[in-house]
């Protein structure tokens, strides 16, 4: 995530600019001539290419729509660079605008729209801070993914329909062969599990491309003598480090904050 290097367009490359206006799930789309609002048709197979797109700032201004800018994303599709300004329209809920969930299944919607909607969807990550009685923290060195060759906390992406606590436990089992049950005194997963609940939720967008990550990190205290079975195609090594050493080695900003915040007494 954070370690990805973002390379923008060169000085002689053109950048197409778009305005992404979303209000409670409703998205402003226009046709090729800038007329809007327009609505997608789910399941449509367009023989004439794209018919609907995001407006420009000038087109939205001409419609009398004020907005407040949240952030600007810049990404490449094929050989073309695009800059998309994400903003909140300062208007009442726009009933006649498009539901953003409907743009995905309409091939007449410009790829920049679909890609921009894709970037607004949160990527959910579950991580675990394993701490032994000496106060040491377990880090693993991964063979693939965002942090190849670097040390990180155990964890990964949460599966569809999976609670982050369950995702964290699954990742421990898959990556390290550990069968650990995370406490859940509030019964968030549907089953009350006694124990102290120490976790944090973090959110960050790390690069100009605008992919949004949310990380659920859980502190789990374990006894000495914990044995690991490393997943051979994914985990190169796993070791215990002092907290200071672990924080010096960890590649992820999520991991650094999780170790610091969850181990504070």
Which H/E stretch holds residue 220?
Answer: strand 212-221
Average pLDDT over residues 129-135: 96
Average pLDDT over residues 104-122: 95
Count of domains for the chain: 2
pLDDT grade, residue 81 (50/70/90)?
A: very high
pLDDT for the residue 43: 94
35 has pLDDT over 70? yes
Average pLDDT over residues 98-122: 95
Do the domain assignments include residue 3? no
Contacts of 231 (CB under 8 A, 6+ apart): 174, 175, 176, 177
pLDDT for the residue 181: 86
pLDDT grade, residue 48 (50/70/90)?
A: confident
Domain identity same for 236 and 150? yes
Average pLDDT over residues 76-103: 96
* Both structure tokens of 139: 């880090």
Domain identity same for 114 and 133? no
pLDDT for the residue 6: 52
Average pLDDT over residues 218-230: 94
pLDDT for the residue 34: 97
Per the prediction, the chain carries an average pLDDT of 93
pLDDT for the residue 148: 87
Query: What are the backbone angles phi and psi of residue 53, rounded to the nearest 5°?
Result: -150, 175
For residue range 171-221, what is the model confidence (pLDDT) as tens digits? 999 999 999 989 989 999 888 999 889 999 999 998 899 999 999 999 999
Which of 65, 91, 120 lies at the terminal end of a domain, its last residue? 120
Domain identity same for 91 and 130? no
Distance CA 207, CA 141 (A): 23
38 has pLDDT over 50? yes
Task: Provide the whole-model pTM.
Answer: 0.86
Domain identity same for 116 and 190? no
Do the domain assignments include residue 235? yes
- Among residues 61, 108, 54, 110, the alpha carbon closest in space to that of 85 is found at 54
The enclosing domain of 21 has a CATH number of 3.90.79
235 has pLDDT over 80? yes
Beta bridge partners of 139: 239
Distance CA 113, CA 251 (A): 32
pLDDT grade, residue 5 (50/70/90)?
A: very low
- Among residues 172, 195, 176, the alpha carbon closest in space to that of 184 is found at 195
List, in sequence order, the alpha helices (H) in the chain.
Answer: 57-62, 111-120, 164-176, 243-249, 253-262
Average pLDDT over residues 121-140: 96
4 has pLDDT over 50? no
Do the domain assignments include residue 161? yes
Average pLDDT over residues 147-174: 95
Which of 120, 145, 176 lies at the terminal end of a domain, its last residue? 120
Contacts of 88 (CB under 8 A, 6+ apart): 21, 22, 23, 67, 68, 70
Contacts of 212 (CB under 8 A, 6+ apart): 119, 120, 121, 122, 123, 203, 204, 205
Domain identity same for 135 and 257? yes
149 has pLDDT over 60? yes
Percent of the chain with pLDDT over 70: 97
* Both structure tokens of 61: 């201004």
pLDDT for the residue 265: 65
CA atoms in the 13 A half-sphere facing the CB of 143: 9
Domain identity same for 97 and 51? yes
Do the domain assignments include residue 1? no
Q: Which residue has the higher pLDDT, 56 or 207?
A: 56
Domain identity same for 74 and 131? no
Distance CA 68, CA 217 (A): 32
Q: 130 exposed, middle or buried (CB, 10 Å; 0-12, 13-18, 19+)?
A: buried
pLDDT for the residue 160: 96
The enclosing domain of 171 has a CATH number of 3.90.79.10
For residue 213, give its domain range: 123-262
Q: Which residue has the higher pLDDT, 148 or 240?
A: 240
């Amino acid at each position: 995530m954070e370690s990805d290097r973002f390379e923008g367009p060169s000085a002689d490359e053109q950048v197409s600019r778009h305005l992404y206006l979303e209000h409670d799930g409703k998205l402003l789309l226009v046709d090729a001539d800038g007329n809007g609002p327009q609505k997608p048709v789910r399941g449509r197979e367009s023989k004439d290419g794209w018919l609907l797109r995001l407006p420009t700032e000038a087109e939205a201004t001409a419609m009398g729509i004020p907005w407040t800018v949240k952030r600007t994303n810049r990404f490449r599709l094929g050989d073309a660079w695009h800059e998309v300004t994400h903003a909140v329209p300062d208007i009442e809920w726009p009933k006649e605008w498009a539901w953003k969930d409907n743009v995905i299944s309409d091939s007449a919607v410009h790829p920049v729209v679909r890609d921009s909607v894709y970037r607004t969807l949160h990527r959910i990550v579950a991580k675990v801070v394993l701490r032994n009685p000496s106060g040491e923290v377990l880090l693993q060195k991964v063979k693939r993914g965002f942090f190849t060759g670097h040390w990180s906390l155990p964890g990964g992406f949460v599966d569809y329909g999976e609670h982050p606590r369950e995702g964290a436990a699954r990742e421990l089992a898959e990556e390290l062969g550990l069968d650990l049950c995370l406490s859940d005194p509030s019964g968030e997963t549907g089953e009350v599990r006694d124990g102290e609940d120490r976790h944090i939720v973090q959110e960050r967008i790390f690069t100009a491309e605008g992919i949004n990550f949310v990380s659920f990190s859980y502190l789990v205290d374990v006894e000495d003598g914990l044995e690991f079975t490393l997943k051979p195609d994914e985990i190169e090594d796993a070791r215990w480090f002092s907290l200071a050493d672990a924080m010096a080695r960890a590649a992820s900003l999520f991991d650094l904050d999780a170790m610091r915040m969850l181990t504070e007494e």
